[in-house]
Structure 1
């Protein structure tokens, strides 16, 4: 399916990481979510109920990153986001990218990120 709803660059302060300072002080996380879905009916009818309300997706991701369970790994955070999106919305596939621009590395880099793609049950 080529239709997608994409939320890029969602920025949240969260408390995830292996280092104690990361879990105590928190840091910026940038999240992208791409949801495969058939947008034809929504486009033809101009009806919000025929699509995925991306404001609800934003709030779901925000809750997971900012107030949800703290994770050691951004892999686990991405997995939780993907699973929650698939559980809450009728999408056959989701791609989640979690970026950590202030990862505790000695060197110059723009961010560390993970990207996962998961299939859902909707089709």
Structure 2
């Protein structure tokens, strides 16, 4: 089964529990892995035979910029459901959502949430 990956999409969002996060916002970075039977479906070098990653990117961007949650877990779960609903030819989706500038006393790069789902478990 083929994979289409869109990596390191970055967005300035206003997700978070704390007032500073909701006011100032922070960067979220998202990786999307889409499972699609490329080997079987793409035979004629035609975009209609595959999933337009430009469309998927636009869906992700619109969702992330227009929805705010307290938890990035909620961002990931709701976005996962949206992609599966909007793109019925995609067999499965894996998302990684990374949050930077997290207000925790400590030294680390980011916090990352990973979720996955498929047609059988929508």
- Please give the per-residue CA displacement for 1:57-114, whole angstroms capped at 9, x wherever unaligned: 111111111122x101000000111111101112111001100021111111111010
Residue equivalent to 1:6: 5
Cα distance, 1:25 vs structure 2: 1.2
Q: Partners in 1 of 2:102 and 2:54 — Cα distance?
A: 28
How many residue pairs get aligned? The number is: 118
Residue equivalent to 1:76: 74
Query: TM-score w.r.t. structure 2 length?
Result: 0.92
Query: TM-score w.r.t. structure 1 length?
Result: 0.91
Q: Secondary structure at the match of 1:49?
A: helix
Q: Partners in 2 of 1:16 and 1:120 — Cα distance?
A: 28
**What RMSD, in angstroms, separates the aligned Cα atoms of the two structures?**
1.0
Cα distance, 1:53 vs structure 2: 0.3
Residue equivalent to 1:57: 56
Cα distance, 1:24 vs structure 2: 1.3
Alignment partner of 1:117 is 2:99: no
List structure 1 segments (4+ residues) > 4 angstroms apart after TM superposition: none
Q: Which runs of 5+ in 1 are unaligned?
A: none
